[in-house]
Amino acid sequence: MNLSQQDWKAQLDQDENAVVLDVRTEDECNEGMITNAINNDIYKGQGFIYRLKELDKSKNYYVYCKAGSRSEQACAVMNQLGFENTYNLIGGFMNWNGEVFMPNEH
């Protein structure tokens, strides 16, 4: 499901079963990530699929990339794999104005 920046954040903030998934490249993630996000680069192809299969399908996944296109693809793949609740961030990280962390600082 595609959600606006405002709806995505509002729903995420209320969701105790949420996982934030960043599907950008490592280089992109080094520019900052949404707080508590885990990275799984969609460009890794089969590696991306393997890592998805390790995730708990009972969770709600809030997925984002730079602009919203790759994350929309990722949600479609996840739905095919049996994930019921995936939420794509329309406009992606480049339009995000919520909390951000730098992965290299942790």
Residue 59 maps to which CATH number?
3.40.250.10
Number of domains composing the chain: 1
In a domain, 59, yes or no: yes
DSSP one-letter string for 15-49 = -TTEEEEE-S-HHHHTT-EETT-EE--GGGTHHHH
Q: What is the pLDDT along the chain (106 residues), one digit of tens a residue?
A: 999 999 999 999 999 999 999 999 999 999 999 999 999 999 999 999 999 999 999 999 999 999 999 999 999 999 999 999 999 999 999 999 999 999 876 5
In a domain, 105, yes or no: no
In a domain, 103, yes or no: no
In a domain, 38, yes or no: yes
Catalytic residue among 52, 65, 75, 90: 65
In a domain, 104, yes or no: no
What confidence score (pLDDT) does residue 45 get?
96
What confidence score (pLDDT) does residue 105 get?
64
User: Distance between CA atoms of 24 and 11, rounded to whole angstroms?
Assistant: 22
| Catalytic status, residue 65 | yes
In a domain, 70, yes or no: yes
Domain with 78, as residue range(s), is: 2-97
Q: Which helix (H) or strand (E) holds 89?
A: strand 86-89
CA–CA distances in Å: residue 80 to residues 10, 29, 54, 66: 26, 26, 15, 23
